[in-house]
């Protein structure tokens, strides 16, 4: 399973806010039996990866109490957090999957944080090393 992901971001150096403007995901999908469904899986995986990279994280108070235990407190990406995603299906049929198919729902999640962190580095010269890349963390790193 191979992938190459590219992100284009806008970074506000005065606040540390990051917006993903465009995203390209080239993904080894095995044989794409149903290309629109495969593209949908890539879209969903990238959206989840954006959440991991920029929003999702457990926060605890000084006593170890989880402050993000419900969906009211745990940040997930909204539709306006997810940019236009261009999926590129790379078909390298699997010798073990049915009809040469490979799993495509989960693999697109993994490269997203690295792609966004590299885009941030390209934009402002600071390489984030911890996720989620919150505005507070990035603002501190920019100082």
Q: Which of 22, 59, 106, 136 is catalytic?
A: 106
Helix intervals (H) in the chain:
35-54, 112-124, 135-142
Cα four-point dihedral sign 43, 125, 129, 69: negative
56 is catalytic: no
CA distance 109 to 26: 12
Separation of first and last alpha carbons in the chain: 39
Q: Which has the closest alpha carbon to 49: 16, 83, 72?
A: 83
CA distance 26 to 16: 28
Packed helices 112-124 and 35-54: angle between N→C axes, nearest 10 degrees: 60
The catalytic residues are 106
């Amino acid at each position: 399973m191979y992938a190459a992901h590219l992100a284009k971001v806008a970074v506000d150096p005065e606040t540390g806010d990051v917006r993903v403007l465009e995203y390209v995901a080239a993904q080894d999908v095995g044989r794409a039996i149903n290309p629109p469904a495969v593209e949908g899986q890539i879209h969903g995986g990238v959206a989840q990866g954006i959440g991991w990279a920029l929003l999702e994280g457990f926060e605890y108070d000084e006593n170890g109490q989880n402050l993000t235990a419900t969906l009211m407190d745990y940040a997930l990406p909204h539709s306006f957090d997810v940019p236009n995603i261009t999926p590129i299906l790379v078909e390298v049929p699997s010798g073990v999957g049915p009809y040469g198919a490979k799993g495509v729902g989960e693999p697109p999640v993994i490269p997203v944080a690295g792609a966004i962190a590299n885009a941030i580095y390209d934009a402002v010269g600071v390489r984030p090393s911890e996720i989620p890349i919150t505005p507070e963390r990035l603002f501190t790193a920019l100082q």
